[in-house]
Amino acid sequence: MPRVKQRTPELREHVLDVAIAMLAADGVTGFTTRRLAQRAQTSTPAVYELFGDKAGLLREVFFAGFRLLRGRLGAPAGSGAPLADLISVIEILREFVRDNPVLAQVMFSRPFADFDPGPAELQAGSAVRELIVARVRRCTDAGVLAGRDADIAHVLLALVQGLAAQEAAGWLGTSRASVDRRWELATGAVLRGLSRTPAGGCRT
Do 159 and 186 meet the contact criterion of CB atoms below 8 Å apart? yes
Can you state the percent helix, strand and coil of the chain, rounding each to 5?
70, 0, 30
- Judge contact between 10 and 40, C-beta under 8 A: no
What does the domain layout of the chain look like in residue ranges?
Answer: 1-52, 66-194
Q: Where are the alpha helices (DSSP H) in 27-148?
A: 33-39, 44-51, 54-73, 82-99, 101-108, 119-141
Q: Give the pLDDT confidence score for residue 201 in this predicted structure.
A: 47
3-state DSSP assignment of residue 101: helix
Q: Can you tell me the distance from the alpha carbon of 119 to that of 187, in angstroms, rounded to the nearest whole number?
A: 31
pTM: 0.78
Q: Does 1.10.10.60 match the CATH number of domain 1-52? A: yes
CA separation for the pair 196, 192 (Å, rounded): 7
Residues of the chain short of pLDDT 70, as ranges, are: 1-6, 75-79, 110-122, 197-204
Q: What CA–CA distances, in Å, run from 192 to 60, 122, 187, 196?
A: 38, 30, 8, 7
Torsion of CA 85, 86, 87, 92, to 10 degrees: 90
CATH class, 66-194 region: mainly alpha
